Amino acid sequence: MAISTNSIIHYTKSLDNLLQILKNGFSLKYCKEDFFWKQKKLRYAYPMICFCDIPLSEVKKHLDSYGHYGIGLKKDWAVKKGLNPVLYLEKESSLSETLMQQIMRFDKNKKELKTNPNTPKIDEVWRQELITLCSHIKNYDGDLIINGKEINNYRFYDEREWRYVPTKLELKGNKRAILQDIYIADKEKYNKEVGKIKLEFDIAEDISYIIVKEENDIHKTLDFISQNFKKTLSASDMEILMTKIISTDQIINDF
């Protein structure tokens, strides 16, 4: 059995969310990310869209955490759009230590500049590259809070996450990283602005699966596709797309 798939899947918690993605593409949103190395913490929010690379036969546990609705897109699309698997790091590893040392070097430089304007400033290109790297890292395991519940020693590695993190140019002036305290204080403002940026796909060419929770949702999804894409999809494309709709009830019972 394959341990990875030819698709990546984005899960969401409602049929309405799924239908809006089908119609408008993915809207960017800031996500809070904690990274730990020993006693050090890196706590930022980054703009991203998350997917997983988990075979449907192994996804039952993931459904309860992230939602029973989803859209699967081909890996070719992911590569073309610049997505990348998350880099998982063990808290005690030398690689985590190296990364934290670079971050502390940058923080030290910022503090020195406040007290001594003549301090040589760290190269801006290096700073942007460091932000890019940090936005793609995650601890191998740790504590997870989801749906108001805390799960201790959760293995993030099992999610096999892929991320779309936009470049500075694609963000059109929005921040690439925000300290969590600042983000939490005004997250609606930050998400409203960055949400105007879309990650798009071709509904006929790029979709592998459309996942809904129940059989009844299949009919609603078919009606939505018929109403919204009858002018842009051929009859044959419409028929093929409809065969890609599957319910999580089927996944749980048949895979």
Sign of the CA dihedral running 57, 200, 81, 95 = negative
- Share above pLDDT 90 across residues of the chain, in percent, rounded to a whole number: 60
Ranges of each domain in the chain: 7-254
Any idea how long the chain is?
255
Residue 141 DSSP symbol: S
Question: Residue 104: is its pLDDT beyond 90?
Answer: no
Is the pTM value of this prediction over 0.85? yes
Helix locations, the chain, DSSP H = 15-24, 60-66, 75-80, 94-115, 124-134, 180-185, 187-194, 215-229, 235-242, 248-254
Q: Residues 123-156: pLDDT tens digits?
A: 778 888 899 999 999 999 998 887 778 888 889 9
The larger pLDDT score, comparing residue 194 to residue 251, is at 194
Q: Residue 228 in 3-state DSSP?
A: helix
pLDDT tier, 1 (very low <50, low <70, confident <90, very high otherwise) = low
3-class DSSP string for 167-224: CCCCCCCCCCCEEHHHHHHCHHHHHHHHCCCEECCCCCCCEEEEEECCHHHHHHHHHH
CA 201 to chain centre: 15
Question: Residue 120 corresponds to which tokens in the numbers above?
Answer: 């040589």
pLDDT exceeds cutoff 90 at 5: no
At 3, the amino acid letter reads: I
Tokens encoding 129: 């590259």
- In this structure, the number of other CB atoms found within 10 A of the CB of residue 49 comes to 21
Residue 200 has a pLDDT of: 96
